[in-house]
Structure 1
Amino acid sequence: MQDLLLLLQGLEVELHHPGTRCSPSRLDALLHPQFHEIGRSGRAYDRETVLGFLATLSEHPPVVSEGFEVALLAPQVALLTYRSAHRQADGTLHLHTHRSSVWVQDGGEWRLRYHQGTPASSN
């Protein structure tokens, strides 16, 4: 299970930096065709909207993430949970968020099927 945790954590963190680590083709490969997201704002986003938004980002605050845990929901379905925050220029963290991602193994590769962010306290 530790190997799966490290693999999915790496894929998730890769998505935190789409402008520097993820090309459009890599984003296309990581997001499942039926990807859906509920943002920390409560708004729902489909795959095309997220791909379009990520393609426009050139810079954004670094994301700090911690507390990753994984649970196997079915043989090829895993739930990854963790906390994240954005680091501001002065080093302080803001936009603390609880995150949940459902990853599915599709054709031997893990792809993000569903993601949700929920506002969290700073502690």
Structure 2
Amino acid sequence: MTGVEEAVAGELRLADPAVRASRAEAARLLDPDFVEVGASGRRWSRAEMLAELPGMEGGSADGPRYEVTGMTGVQLGPDLVHLTYETVLAGRRARRSSLWRRSPGGEWRMYYHQATPVPGETGV
């Protein structure tokens, strides 16, 4: 698998309610230096995200699920991939951007993530 394919697979796993509900599974996919700027504007550390992720929307098998569309990726270097895509969760759209980096052990982990809300129904 290429780095882009590995990053896409990891990103899709993080959208899976079973992975979101498991701190151990999510921890395997988040880089030790992970940071997120969420759609709310809040900045999240790795520890904060792992503590809160199971209770967030999208983390329950019987609740709303992330709908992922338009995912594309670019390999920026041998150990760095940039992904962009859109999601819909409970009627709210967001544009998303993630950086994935390869660890010294060869695993691809999310290093940075940002979500930006898409206003209105036009998707502009």
Please give the range of the TM-score, normalised by the shorter of the 2 chains: 0.7 to 0.9
Moved more, 61-70 or 7-16: 7-16
Q: Distance in 2 between matches of 1:56 and 1:119?
A: 20
Moved more, 105-114 or 6-15: 6-15
Count of residue pairs the alignment pairs up: 115
Moved more, 2-11 or 113-122: 2-11
Mapping 1:8-47, distance limit 5 Å:
8-17=7-16, 19-21=17-19, 23-47=22-46
Do 2:36 and 2:44's aligned partners in 1 also have CA atoms closer than 8 Å? yes
Alignment partner of 2:116 out of 88, 103, 118:
118
Do 2:19 and 2:26's aligned partners in 1 also have CA atoms closer than 8 Å? no
Q: Distance in 2 between matches of 1:74 and 1:5?
A: 11
1:99 aligns with 2:96: yes
Moved over 6 A (4+): none
Do 2:23 and 2:51's aligned partners in 1 also have CA atoms closer than 8 Å? no
TM-score after normalising by structure 2: 0.82
The share of aligned pairs that are identical, in percent, is 31
Q: Distance in 2 between matches of 1:5 and 1:101?
A: 11
RMSD: 1.9
Is there any run of 5+ residues in structure 2 with no aligned partner, and where?
none
Q: Distance in 2 between matches of 1:29 and 1:21?
A: 10
TM-score after normalising by structure 1: 0.83
Is there any run of 5+ residues in structure 1 with no aligned partner, and where?
89-93
Q: Distance in 2 between matches of 1:5 and 1:72?
A: 6
Query: What's the CA shift string for 1:40-92, capped at 9, x where partnerless?
Result: 11110101110001133552411101101111111100101000001x4xxxx
Q: Distance in 1 between matches of 2:64 and 2:83?
A: 22
Do 1:36 and 1:47's aligned partners in 2 also have CA atoms closer than 8 Å? yes
Match of 2:67 in 1: 64
